[in-house]
Amino acid sequence: MTLHDFVRGELIDVVEWLEDSADAMVWRFARPDNEIKNGAQLIVRPGQVAVFVDEGTVADVFEPGRHELVTQNLPVLSKLRGWKYGFKSPFKADVVFVSTRQFTSHKWGTKTPVMMSDPQLGPVRLRAYGTYIARVSNAEAFVTELVGANATFGIDQIADQIRDLVVSRFSELLGERSIPLLQLSSHYSELGQLAATRLQPELGHLGLELTQLVVESIALPDEVAATLDQRTRIGIIGDVSAYAALQAADAVRDAARNPGAGGAGAAIGVGMAMAAQLGGTTSAAMHPTVATPAAPTIAPMSPPPIPQSPAWFVAVDGTPQGPFEAAALRARAAAGAMNRDSLVWRQGMAQWAPASQVPEVAALFA
C-alpha cells in the first residue's frame, strides 16, 4: 500500500449517488474493500433511500437527508458486529442506493388474443394495450428479492416480468367482468384500477407497486371489426333493399374504375343486374356512357331469373340503347336502324356480340 492510498483510506468518506440514467433503479456504492470510515457522511437525495447490507443482511435503511455514520445511527449494524464501544476502525458494509421515484411510460399488451363472451356477438377474441407506472415501495424487500449482489439494476431487467403479470391479471379480469363489447371503452379507467389493485400482492412481495395502470385500447380482430362496420351501415340505412342497392352501386363504381376487368362494359352488366334486383329503374339510370363497345369479361353479379320475354340492348355509336322487346327489335331491323353487325346484349350473355352471331336476333334478318 502506498502512502497516498493510506492517507486516502483514512479520509472521511462522502457516500452519495448522482443518478446518471433515467432507467437506473439501484446503484451499489463502490469503496476499496467495502470499507466505510466511522463518521462518514451519507447523503441521500430526494427520490432515493440508502440500504446498508452487512454480509447479506439488511442492517439499516436511510431516508432522504444527510446522515453521519456513527454507532448511534447504526444500532442494528453495531449489534451485528458486536461493536458496543464505538467504531475504532473502518467497518465493512455495502451501501445500496435505491431510487424510489416513479418509472413512467412502460408499455404492456397482450401477445395473443383474449377470448371472452359477449351477450350479443357471442365468443370474440380481443387484444388489449396500455401503459403502466411502477416504483419501489419497499427498498429492503426489493434489494433482498431482486437486486442481490448486483452492482446495478435497471427497470428494463424487471419490465418484462411486470408486463407479463399485468397481461395475465388483466385477461382474467376481462373474462370475469362480462362487460358488453360495445361498452368496454367506457370502463377503461375502472379496469385499469382493478387490475392494479389485483397485482399489488404479487408486486408487493418484490417491493414494487403500480401507481397507475392505463388501458389505452381494446381492439377487435379485423374480421369482427369489418362485420360491425357493415352492421353500422345497415343501421344507418335502415332498409335492407337499399343496402343491397348500395352494394350494387359500389360494384358498378369499382368495375368502371378497373379497365383490366372489363371496364365500363362490365359496369353495364352489373348495372343491369342491379336494375333487375330492384324491380327496374328508369331508362336514363341504365344508360351509362360507353367509350367503346368493349365486351365485359365478368358476368353480372347475383343475376335475377331470366324473364319470359328477353329484353335486348343495342349499341349505337358507343352507347347502349334499350331495352327492346322482340317485336320492337324486329321493327328496328326492318327499319334499318340495326344490321347484322350491330352489337347486341341481353341479361344472361357473358359479353356483347354481333347480331349475326346471336341466333335469336339473326333470325330477324332472314
pLDDT digits (tens, 9 = 90+) for 305-352: 555 567 888 888 878 888 888 888 888 888 888 888 889 888 888 888
Residues 3-7, mean pLDDT to the nearest whole number: 46
**Positive or negative: CA dihedral 108, 110, 115, 121:** positive
Closest CA to 98 of 34, 55, 52, 159: 52
Is the model's pTM score more than 0.75? Answer: no
Average pLDDT, the chain: 77
Residues 128-156, mean pLDDT to the nearest whole number: 92
- Topology classification of domain 103-224: Tetrahydropterin Synthase; Chain A (3.30.479)
| Contact in structure between 13 and 41 (CB atoms under 8 Å) | yes
- Residue 209 cell numbers, joined: 407497486
Residues 233-255, mean pLDDT to the nearest whole number: 70
Cis-peptide into 300, omega within 30 deg: no
- Residue 121 cell numbers, joined: 356477438
Pick the range with the lowest mean pLDDT from 24-38, 63-77, 328-342. Answer: 63-77
Extents of the domains making up the chain: 3-99, 103-224, 239-365
Torsion region of 4: left, alpha or beta (phi above 0 gives left; psi -120 to 50 gives alpha): alpha
Q: How many C-alpha atoms does 65 have within 13 Å on its Cβ side?
A: 6
Pick the range with the lowest mean pLDDT from 15-19, 59-63, 117-121, 181-185. Answer: 117-121
User: Side chain identity at 121, as an amino acid letter?
Assistant: L
- Residue 344 cell numbers, joined: 347486341
Please determine, for residue 298, whether its predicted confidence score (pLDDT) is greater than 50. yes
Res 10: pLDDT: 47
Pick the range with the lowest mean pLDDT from 39-53, 216-230, 241-255, 263-277. Answer: 263-277
Residues 209-217, mean pLDDT to the nearest whole number: 93
- Residue 187 cell numbers, joined: 370502463
Please determine, for residue 359, whether its predicted confidence score (pLDDT) is greater than 50. yes
Return the higher-pLDDT residue of 65 and 298. Answer: 65
Return the higher-pLDDT residue of 153 and 74. Answer: 153
Rg of the Cα atoms in the chain: 41
Question: Cell 448511534, residue?
Answer: 72
SS3 per residue for the chain: CCHHHHHHHHCCCEECCCCCCCCEEEEECCCHHHEECCCEEEEECCCEEEEEEECCEEEEEECCEEEEECHHHCHHHHHHHCCCCCCCCCEECEEEEEECCCEEEEEEECCCCEEEEECCCEEEEEEEEEEEEEEECCHHHHHHHHHCCCCEEECHHHHHHHHHHHHHHHHHHHHHHCCCHHHHHHHHHHHHHHHHHHHHHHHHCCCEEEEEEEEEEEECCHHHHHHHHHHHHHHHHCCHHHHHHHHHHHHHHHHHHCHHHCHHHHHHHHHHHHHHHCCCCCCHHHCCCCCCCCCCCCCCCCCCCCCCCCCEEEEECCEEEEEECHHHHHHHHHHCCCCCCCEEEECCCCCCEEHHHCHHHHHHHC
Res 300: pLDDT: 55
- Residue 42 cell numbers, joined: 451519507
Q: How confident is the model at residue 56 (pLDDT cuts 50, 70, 90)?
A: confident
Pick the range with the lowest mean pLDDT from 74-78, 174-178, 244-248. Answer: 74-78
| Contact in structure between 288 and 321 (CB atoms under 8 Å) | no
Question: Cell 431516508, residue?
Answer: 63
Question: Cell 365478368, residue?
Answer: 298
Specify burial of residue 243 (Cβ count, 10 A radius: 0-12, 13-18, 19+): middle
Q: Give the list of residues 6+ apart from residue 238 with CB closer than 8 angstroms, or none.
A: none
